[in-house]
């Protein structure tokens, strides 16, 4: 009998609906076939032991001290933040060793942090039941309150609730979701710019604040508006507010509408319209929300000129990371070769490129060897 267990939580690619989640709007992510795996075993010394294969780094924590630990600005904050949230709910943290391995590239806009948080929650729970929505929310709280990033709910939600073969459309106000089938005759290709510009976290915080300023202004004129989710483009135009704040609000309001339009286009199998909406979303992020950068703009501009590409946009928080591209399946090899050589020629960077396959949300893995977790000595466990 082997006492080790393995838990998996996926990264995500957001198809459309960027920076709409903390404005209580809609998002349309897919959980990815790239995931974080945590193998747990009893800790030999009564402490919580964390080992990251990626960082080749080992840390140990006295469990009773976890609630009073300060943030350390270290990768362990994601795990400790989740442990604190669980403890605050009265859930006991057992003395475990956590061996963490992630396939989700950091800084790529594919939510490596949410994958780590959600995998940590499942690992620390050790199969004890907690509502899946509660898991997503406590992981989000860990990131906001402990890691210090004022994020929305999308990444943790989709890491928990992701589905095979489908995207999920999340209503970030009601926290209800529905699955959305993506037409079979299109491949979803992520192209990693391999850059992540440093202003990310502070710029994210600024955007959150600018949206709050916009809501205050709009509400003075239209009292029914409590978040940008409630506002329409005409209300944004008619409200006096600083030009910059107006552009931020316009991105969110139009992006929200694009999610619905995209879902309808996907239901009709209208690939050209889906592609157009991708490009509109990117332009809105580029010019109104101002969260793109030269590298991802170049990737999008190049992609839309390649045969078989219906549309492209940056995905995730911004300032680098990945673009997501809708490509005719028979053209994917040529698309990859073309975009790679154009990007290499322009920036001297070799982009990582991969096909995104919608995968299931977080769970314990019963047979890590077969599932590709590739961690474990308990390959024979049923």
Q: Which residues bind ligand GLA (CB under 6 A)?
A: 14, 18-19, 21-22, 111, 151-152, 154-155, 316-317
Least distance CB 189 / ligand GLA (angstroms): 19
> Residue 71 region, left (φ>0) first, then alpha (ψ -120 to 50), else beta?
beta
Pick the closer one to ligand GLA by CB: 236 or 259.
Answer: 259
Distance of closest approach, residue 374 Cβ to ligand GLA, in angstroms: 27
Q: Are 150 and 356 in contact, with CB atoms under 8 Å apart? A: no
Q: Are 2 and 378 in contact (CB under 8 A)?
A: yes
Q: Rounded to 5 degrees, what angle do the CA atoms 111, 117, 118 make?
A: 90
**Which is closer to ligand GLA, CB of 170 or CB of 271?**
170
| Least distance between ligand GLA and beta carbon 138 (Å) | 15
Tokens of 194: 């391999």
Q: Backbone phi, then psi, for 157, in 5-degree steps?
A: -65, -50
Cα 195–Cα 138–Cα 75 angle in degrees, nearest 5: 40
Q: In which order are the strands placed within the sheet that holds 176-181?
A: 26-27, 166-171, 176-181
Scanning the chain, the segments in alpha helix (DSSP H) are: 76-88, 112-125, 132-141, 154-161, 200-221, 233-238, 243-268, 271-283, 294-303, 332-347, 368-371
Q: Which residues of 197-222 are buried (b: 16+ CB within 10 A; e: fewer)?
A: beebeebbeebbebbeebbebbbeeb
Q: Which residues pair with 326 in a beta bridge?
A: 188, 311
Nearest distance in Å: CB 259, ligand GLA: 11
Task: Return the active site residues.
Answer: 155
Nearest distance in Å: CB 113, ligand GLA: 7
Residue whose structure tokens are 């709050």: 212
Say whether 253 sits in a helix, a strand or coil.
Answer: helix
Between 150 and 183, whose beta carbon lies closer to ligand GLA?
150
* Nearest to ligand GLA of 48, 160 (CB atom): 160
| Minimum distance, C-beta of residue 301 to ligand GLA, in the bound complex (Å) | 21
């Amino acid at each position: 009998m082997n006492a080790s267990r393995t838990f998996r939580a996926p990264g995500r690619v957001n198809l459309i609906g960027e920076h709409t989640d903390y404005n209580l709007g809609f998002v349309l992510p897919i959980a990815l076939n790239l995931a974080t795996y945590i193998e747990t075993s009893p800790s030999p010394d009564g402490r919580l032991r964390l080992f990251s294969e990626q960082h080749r780094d080992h840390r140990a924590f006295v469990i009773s001290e976890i609630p009073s630990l300060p943030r350390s600005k270290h990768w362990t904050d994601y795990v400790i933040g989740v442990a604190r949230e669980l403890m605050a709910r009265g859930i006991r943290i057992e003395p475990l060793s956590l061996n963490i391995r992630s396939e989700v590239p950091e800084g790529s806009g594919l939510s490596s942090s949410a994958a780590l948080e959600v995998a940590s929650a499942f690992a620390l729970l050790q199969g004890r039941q907690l509502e899946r929505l509660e898991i997503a929310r406590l992981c989000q709280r860990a990131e906001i309150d402990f890691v210090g990033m004022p994020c929305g709910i999308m990444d943790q939600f989709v890491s928990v609730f992701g589905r095979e073969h489908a995207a999920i459309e999340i209503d970030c106000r009601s926290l209800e979701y529905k699955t959305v089938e993506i037409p079979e005759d299109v491949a979803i290709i992520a192209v990693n710019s391999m850059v992540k510009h440093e202003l990310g976290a502070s710029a994210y915080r600024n955007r959150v604040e600018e949206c709050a300023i916009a809501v205050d202004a709009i509400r003075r004129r239209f009292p029914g508006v409590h978040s940008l989710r409630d506002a329409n483009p005409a209300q944004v135009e008619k409200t006096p507010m600083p030009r910059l704040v107006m552009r931020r609000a316009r991105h969110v309001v139009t992006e929200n509408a694009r999610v619905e339009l995209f879902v309808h286009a996907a239901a009709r199998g209208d690939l050209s319209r889906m592609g157009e909406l991708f490009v509109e979303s990117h332009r809105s992020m580029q010019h109104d929300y101002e969260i793109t950068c030269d590298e991802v703009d170049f990737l999008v501009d190049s992609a839309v000129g390649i045969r078989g590409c219906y549309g492209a946009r940056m995905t995730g928080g911004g300032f680098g990371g990945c673009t997501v591209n809708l490509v005719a399946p028979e053209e994917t090899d040529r698309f990859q070769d073309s975009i790679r050589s154009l990007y290499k020629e322009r920036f001297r960077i070799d982009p990582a490129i991969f096909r995104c396959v919608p995968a299931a949300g977080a769970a314990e893995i019963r047979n890590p060897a077969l599932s590709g977790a590739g961690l474990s000595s308990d390959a024979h466990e049923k």
